[in-house]
Amino acid sequence: MTTTALQPTKVRGRPAPCWPGTIAIPLAEFGKSLDDKDLDEWFEAFAERNSDMYEYEISGTGHLMIREPTGNPGDLYENQLAIALGNWTGEYGGISFGPTSRFVLPDGSRFGPDASWLRAERLGELTLPENKPFTHIVPDFIAEIKSPSNSNAELVNKINLFLEHGARLAWFIDAETRTAIKYRPNHEPEVLHDPEYIDGDDDVLPGFRFAVRERIFDLFTDIEHQEMQDAAGEQGSTD
């Protein structure tokens, strides 16, 4: 099945998001709505049953958003950021989340950034209602790494949604254009062209510096270089 954007279907008077590579299906076709008390349980079960085929989120317009899995190299990029953020969190505190996490936002949407972080003072907000798989919380920091299954408009829309509901810092990383963009509420985006690092800002992620050039932009260049060196070493040992 090839994912193609459907024509907008209005739910509650709002059109479905139409992003390239994404299918938007009204929850009503599954007998569900954003108001259902068991929506989280249904969504978790649906995603688990079909996890080997696609990735899923729910929009605030009441649509199930379906897209192809990230795959490589996107998975590797996400892993690089998750490791760096997790290591920093272990030293500084708070809690970090990976791309499989989903957050229930105030508009009813269920979205999951590629990486996110919540400061230690807010950990008490993570208490989940009984039998609820997702937490109703907005992380302080989120990051999105563009993959072939994403469009710029889709990711910027998601970033703006998190910022609107309380996120304090967001990153957009595009390996193809070697660009990183920092977003903050009520500020113009800060565009970084081929940066060596992205700083986490002292009032959000103090001391966190992600080596984006080494760990994303040049990751495969470094891997290919190492493979060439290994192959040359093996050849030299047989001469």
Q: Are 185 and 175 in contact (CB under 8 A)?
A: no
Question: Do 83 and 216 form a contact (C-beta atoms < 8 A)?
Answer: no
- With bands split at pLDDT 50, 70 and 90, how would you rate the model's confidence at 12? very low
Contact (CB, 8 A) for 101 and 138: no
In contact, 46 and 65? CB cutoff 8 Å: no
Residue 162: band (very low, low, confident or very high) from pLDDT cuts 50, 70, 90: very high
190, amino acid identity: E
Look at residue 233 and tell me whether its pLDDT is greater than 90: no
Q: Give helix 74-92 / helix 219-238 axis angle, nearest 10°.
A: 100
Query: Do residues 196 and 216 make contact, with C-beta atoms less than 8 angstroms apart?
Result: no
3-state secondary structure of 118: strand
As given in the structure block, the two tokens for residue 98 are 């990976």
Domains of the chain in start order, with CATH, are 1-69 (no CATH), 74-222 (3.90.1570.10)
Which of these, 160, 110, 115, lies nearest to 139 by C-alpha position? 115
The larger pLDDT score, comparing residue 150 to residue 216, is at 216
pTM for the full predicted model: 0.81
The per-residue pLDDT for 129 is: 57
pLDDT in tens, 169-206: 999 999 999 999 999 999 999 999 999 999 999 999 99
Is the model more confident about 129 or about 137?
Answer: 137
Q: How many CA atoms lie within 13 A of 178 on its CB side?
A: 9
User: Could you give the CA distance from residue 194 to residue 169 in angstroms, rounded to a whole number?
Assistant: 20
The mean of the pLDDT values for the chain is: 83
Find the radius of gyration of the CA atoms of the chain: 19
Query: Closest Cα to residue 84, out of 172, 214, 225, 227?
Result: 214
pLDDT surpasses 60 at 6 = no
Cross-strand pairs, 56: 66
DSSP letter at 64 equals E
Mean predicted confidence (pLDDT) in 66-93 = 87
State the pLDDT at residue 192. 97
